[in-house]
Chain A
Amino acid sequence: MMARRFITEILAFVVALAVWQVLSMAHIWPEVLFPSPLQVLATFHDDLLSGVLLLNLGVSLKSLLLGFVVGCVFAVPLGYLMGLSRTSRDFFDPLVNLLQAIPGLAWIPFAILWFGLGQGAVTFIIVMSVFFPVLHNLLTGIRMVQPVLVEAVQTLGAKKIDVIRHVIFPATLPNLMTGIRLGIAFGFRSLVGGEMIASTDGLGYAIFNAQQYFQSARIVVGMLTIGLVWLAMDRLILRPIEQRTTMRWGLVREGLEQA
C-alpha cells in the first residue's frame, strides 16, 4: 500500500521530467529561454558544491521561519481572542478586513524605509503575508465549533479555560493547519518577491540576479529549490502532525475514496 503510493508519487516526477527533456531535445526554443533538465542538474550540482545555493537557501529559510513565527505569534492569540469575545471581535474585525485586502508585497516601500535593504525588510513583508491567512482560517475554525460539544463538557463541570483547552483548541486544529499551510505558501510568495526588490541575497535574489546574466538554468534551480523545500516541509512536518491529530480523530480524511 505504502510502496504503491510511493511509486505513484514518484511517477509524476518521472513523467514531468520526461516531457521537459523531450521538449528541450526538440529544440523548439533556444536554450536560454528553455533550459534542459540536464543543464539544470549541472547548475544545481555546481551551486551546491560552491556552497552558494545552501547559503541563499539558509538566508531565505531564516527570513521565512522568523516571519512565519512572528506572524503566528500575533495571529493565533488574536484569533482566539476575536473568536471568543464579542467585544474584541467587533473592535478588530473591520480593521483586520481592511488590512487583509492589502497584499504583503505592497508593504515593500515601507519595509525598505523602516528596515533598510536586506532580510529585515523581507521578514517584515513575510509577517504581513502570514498573519492574515492564519487569522482568517482560525476565525473560521472557531465559528465551526459545535456548540453541543461545549455544552456537554460544561455539564461535566468544565470552566471556560477547560472549554478552550479541551474543546475549542482541538476543534480548531484542522483550520489552524490550513491557515498555517496557506500562511507558509503566502510567505514563500512574499519571500521571493521581497528578496527580488528589497534584498541582496536569498533565493529570490538569486533568481532575479540570474536573469540579469541570462543564466536561465540557475533561475530554474532557484525555483525548484523553493518547490522542494516546501515539499519537504509538508512531508516531514505538517503531514505527520495532521496524521497524528486531525486525521486520527476522524476530523479530516485524505480523500473521499474508501480504504
Chain B
Amino acid sequence: MTDLLVASSVSKIYFDTVEKNNVKALDDINLSIRPHEFVSVIGPSGCGKSTFLRLVAGLDRPTSGEIKVADRKITGPGADRGMVFQEYALLPWKTTAANIEFGPRLKKLPKTEREAITRRFVELVGLKGFENKYPHQLSGGMRQRAAVARVLANNPTMLLMDEPFAAVDAMTRQHLQEELAAIATHERTTVLFVTHAIDEAVFLSDRVIALSGRPGRIVADRRIDLPRPRRWEALVNDATFAAHRDELTRCIHGKAQKET
C-alpha cells in the first residue's frame, strides 16, 4: 500500500516575537502515514506537535524539508486536509447545519446533495434536533461534535485534529473519544491526531508517534494492536493498553529529563 502522507526531513524554525530569538520547533522529522491509519502525535508541551500538524494543514511552511499528501507537495491549506481545533472554531453566525454544510457549499454541490450530506453527518455525530441552533447555544462537547462533522462532511483525504478534546470535561471527553474511534473505523478516515494525553493517544490510535522536548524529534513510533471497537470500560483494566501507556510515558519523560 502506498503511503498517503510522507514527511521528509522536516524542520521548522520560527521567530519568537516575545523573546526576540529564533526557536527550533521541529528537527528532521521523517514520517509516513498509510491510508486509513489513525496516527497520534504526543509529546511534552512545546515539542512542536501542533507545529507539525499546522505544516500538514498548510497553515505554516516548513523551514526545510517537505511534506507530501497523496503525492502532492503541500503549499497551502486545502479541503483535502480538514482540521479540527481545540477551540472548536465553528462560525458563530451559522447554525449547526450551516456549519456542517459549509464545505459542500464551497464545493458548489447541488442543494439536495448538500442537504443529504448534512443530514447524514448531523446524525453520525448525534446532533439531531440541534440543526438550527447556533454554536453559542451548544455545550462544549456538542460544539466539538459539530466541528468534527463539519470536517467529515467535506470528505477530506485526511482528518487533522489538534487537541480537540482538551477543552471538554472528563466525562464528555471519554464519550467523544469512543465516538471518534467508532466514526474513524466506520468512515475509514485517515486521522492525524495531536494530544498531550498519552492514554487518549493509545486509546484512539493504530500508531503513536512520540516527540522529544524542543526541538521536537521522533523518539518512539509504536503500533497499538488493540482490537476495535474500543471502549473505555473494557480497556481501563487491559494489560496491553497499560503496557503501551507506560512504555510511551517512559519514552517521553525519560527523554524530557535528559534534555533538561
**A171: which B residues are within 8 A, CB to CB?**
93
B91 touches A170 (CB 8 A): yes
Task: Name the segment of A38-46, A149-157, A206-214, A222-230 touching the other chain.
Answer: A149-157
Hey, which chain B residues are within 8 Å of A94, CB to CB? none
Size class of the A contact interface (CB-based, 8 Å): 20 to 34
User: Contact between A152 and B106 (Cβ–Cβ < 8 Å)?
Assistant: no
CA distance in complex: A154, B58 (Å): 9
Instruction: Tell yes or no: A27 within 8 A of B by CB.
Output: no
Asked if A245 is at the interface (CB within 8 A of a chain B CB), the reply is yes
List the A residue with the shortest CB-CB distance to B83: A155
The CB with the most chain B CB atoms within 10 A, among A148, A156, A170, is that of A156
| B78 adjacent to chain A (CB < 8 Å) | yes
Q: Which of A149, A157, A167 contacts B103 (CB 8 A)?
A: A157
**Which residue of chain B has the shortest Cβ distance to A173 in the bound complex?**
B93
Q: Are A148 and B92 neighbours in the complex by a CB distance under 8 Å?
A: no
Do B83 and A157 touch (CB < 8 A)?
no
- Closest chain B CB from A133 CB (angstroms): 24
Cα distance A192–B227 when bound, in Å? 78
Closest residue of chain B to A152 (Cβ to Cβ) is B89
Please, how many angstroms separate the alpha-carbon atoms of A171 and B160 in the complex? 25
Residue on B with the closest CB to A253?
B136
Q: Contact partner of B106 among A157, A245, A250, A251, CB < 8 A?
A: A157
User: What is the distance, in angstroms, from A143's C-beta to the closest C-beta of chain B?
Assistant: 16
A250 touches B137 (CB 8 A): yes
- The residues of A that contact B150 with a CB separation of less than 8 Å are 156
> Given contacts A148-B85, A149-B91, A167-B91, is CB(A158)–CB(B135) below 8 Å?
no
Chain B contact residue count (CB 8 A cutoff): 30
Q: Is B102 on the interface with A (CB-CB < 8 A)?
A: yes
Shortest Cβ distance from B37 into chain A, in angstroms?
19
Q: Is residue A162 contacting chain B, with contact meaning CB distance below 8 A?
A: yes
A248 within 8 Å of B (CB atoms): yes
Cα of A244 to Cα of B137 in the assembled complex, Å: 15
Complex Cα distance, B106 from A162, in Å, reads 8
- Residue among B78, B83, B92, B134 with most chain A CB within 10 A: B92
Those of A154-180 within 8 Å (CB) of chain B: 154-158, 162, 166-167, 170-171, 173
Least distance between A111 CB and chain B CB atoms (Å): 40
Task: Give the chain B neighbours of A248 by CB distance below 8 A.
Answer: 134
* Interfacial chain B residues near A153, Cβ < 8 Å: 91, 102
Q: Per-position contact with A for B63-84: 1 when CB-CB < 8 Å, else 0?
A: 0000000000000111101110
**Interface of A toward B, CB cutoff 8 Å:** 146, 148-149, 151-158, 162, 166-167, 170-171, 173, 245, 248-251
Would you give 26 A-B contacts (Cβ < 8 Å), ordered by A? A146-B89, A151-B57, A151-B59, A151-B77, A151-B89, A152-B89, A154-B58, A154-B77, A155-B57, A155-B77, A156-B82, A156-B103, A156-B106, A156-B154, A157-B79, A157-B103, A157-B106, A158-B106, A162-B106, A166-B91, A245-B93, A248-B134, A249-B134, A249-B136, A250-B137, A251-B92
